[in-house]
Amino acid sequence: MSIKDNLQHIKSTIPEHVTLVAVSKTKPKEALLEAYEAGQRVFGENKVQEMVEKWEVLPKDIEWHMIGHLQRNKVKYMAEFVSLIHGVDSLKLLTEIDKQAKKHRRVIPCLLQMHIAEEDTKFGLDEPELNELISSEEFKKMENIKVMGLMGMATFTTDEDQIRKEFAHLKSIFENLKQKLPSISILSMGMSGDYNIATEEGSTMVRIGSSIFGSRNYS
């Protein structure tokens, strides 16, 4: 199946209001262009350097999403153009994004990453940490970031009930947060292996890589 066919297939299985982020990390720009020509405009990368290199050469109407774990010292390289940062999991990181966004006189949309999986290797906040962050004075003073919602990753397992439970948990945190912050509208959950469960549980944005571009080769 071609990239175009894969995109078409995925689009036909997710609800229309769900945004598809094509996760293009490690893939050459030719692959991204193929997806672009099939109409895809939203791409996700997990390394700042790689995203900058692709942004420089690819069409300017692409929306670039940073989906990976982000180091504070890298924010400055993408502050000019990034459309959404999914993996924000500390006030320190948010403070740096705010500072770099200000330099470019823009507001950078962000998602806070929640820890919902069993593995302790996955980054993210728990609900008390989330509430502490959003009620802090520093957070309330920030003018150059906009928290649009939450992002999370389920445990890497074949146990669908467990994945469903974790997504449902994230959805309930999302609903609670909506009551406190009016800007909340995006729930980023679901990857190649679990996006159907994620959309059934209320995802509004799925991040899909290998089911579009084929498996990644890290060698």
Ligand X SMILES: *Cc1c(COP(=O)(O)O)cnc(C)c1O
CB of 210 to ligand X, least distance (A): 4
CB of 117 to ligand X, least distance (A): 12
Please identify, among the stretches 90-98, 126-134, 171-179, 204-212, the one whose residues bind ligand X according to the rule CB under 6 A: 204-212
**Angle 160-180/127-135 helices, nearest 10 degrees?**
20
Decide whether 55 or 195 has the Cβ nearer to ligand X: 195
Can residue 210 be called a binding residue for ligand X (CB under 6 A)?
Answer: yes
Please identify, among the stretches 55-63, 95-103, 177-185, 190-198, the one whose residues bind ligand X according to the rule CB under 6 A: 190-198
Structure tokens, 138? 């520093």
Beta bridge partners of 44: 23, 65
Single out the residue of 19, 95, 192, 196 in contact with ligand X (rule: CB under 6 A): 192
CB of 19 to ligand X, least distance (A): 13
Can residue 191 be called a binding residue for ligand X (CB under 6 A)?
Answer: yes
Decide whether 142 or 174 has the Cβ nearer to ligand X: 174
152: CB partners within 8 A, 6+ apart: 113, 114, 115, 116, 117, 124, 166, 167, 170, 188, 189
CA of residue 198 relative to chain centroid, distance: 14
Can residue 71 be called a binding residue for ligand X (CB under 6 A)?
Answer: no
Please identify, among the stretches 56-64, 73-81, 155-163, 191-199, the one whose residues bind ligand X according to the rule CB under 6 A: 191-199
Nearest CA among 169, 209, 206, 201 for reference residue 186: 206
Rounded to whole angstroms, how far apart are CA atoms 35 and 148? 26
Can residue 110 be called a binding residue for ligand X (CB under 6 A)?
Answer: no
Nearest CA among 79, 65, 56 for reference residue 24: 65
**Residues of this chain that bind ligand X (CB under 6 A):** 23, 25, 46, 67-68, 191-193, 207-211
